[in-house]
């Protein structure tokens, strides 16, 4: 199945893309989907997205279909989902 990832902040800067579509297995979780995404880029992307334990960083806002989700208990991923990653920004 296919999911679309909308990237914001520094993640977009590293990926050099606003939006990325990837194919993932039908039983994919949020974490496995994000790991698959990170596999397309260099380590700085993974470092930005995941903490030392491999979990999504607590400062990363994750939306699925424009709704905030609980990263500790994410819903299952469906074909056609739009996952938005908002990295923390503080520029002025």
Partner 1 sequence: MIPLNDEEKATYEWQMWARGFGETGQEKLKNSSALVSRLGGLGGPVAQELAAAGIGKLILAHGGNLKHSDLNRQILMKYDGLGTPRIDQAVEHLLAINPRLEIVAIGENISEDNVDALVEQADIVFDCAPLFEERFAMNRACVEQRKPLIDAAMFSLEGQVTTIIPGETACLQCIYPEVPTSWQREFPVFGAVSATAACIAVMEGIKLLSGMAEPSLKGKMLYYDLRGMAFHKVNTQRNPECPICKDC
* Segment interacting with partner 1, rule: CB under 8 A, options 23-31, 35-43, 66-74: 66-74
Q: How far is CA 49 from the centre of its chain?
A: 7
Question: Binding of partner 1 at residue 67 (CB under 8 A)?
Answer: yes
Q: Tell me how far apart the alpha carbons of residues 88 and 9 are, in angstroms, rounded to a whole number.
A: 7
Stretch that binds partner 1, among 25-33, 34-42, 72-80, 84-92 (CB under 8 A): 84-92
Two tokens, residue 12: 């977009």
Residue 41 engages partner 1 in binding (rule: CB under 8 A): no
How many angstroms separate the CA atoms of 11 and 18, rounded?
A: 9
Number of residues engaging partner 1 in binding (CB under 8 A): 23
């Amino acid at each position: 199945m296919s999911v679309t990832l909308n990237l914001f902040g520094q993640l977009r800067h590293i990926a050099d893309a606003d939006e990325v579509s990837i194919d993932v297995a039908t039983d994919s979780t949020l974490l496995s989907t994000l790991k698959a995404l990170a596999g397309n880029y260099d380590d700085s992307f993974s470092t930005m997205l995941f903490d030392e334990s491999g979990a999504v960083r607590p400062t990363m806002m994750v939306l699925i279909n424009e709704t905030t989700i609980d990263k500790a208990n994410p819903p299952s991923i469906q074909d056609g989902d739009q996952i938005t990653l908002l990295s923390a920004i503080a520029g002025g």
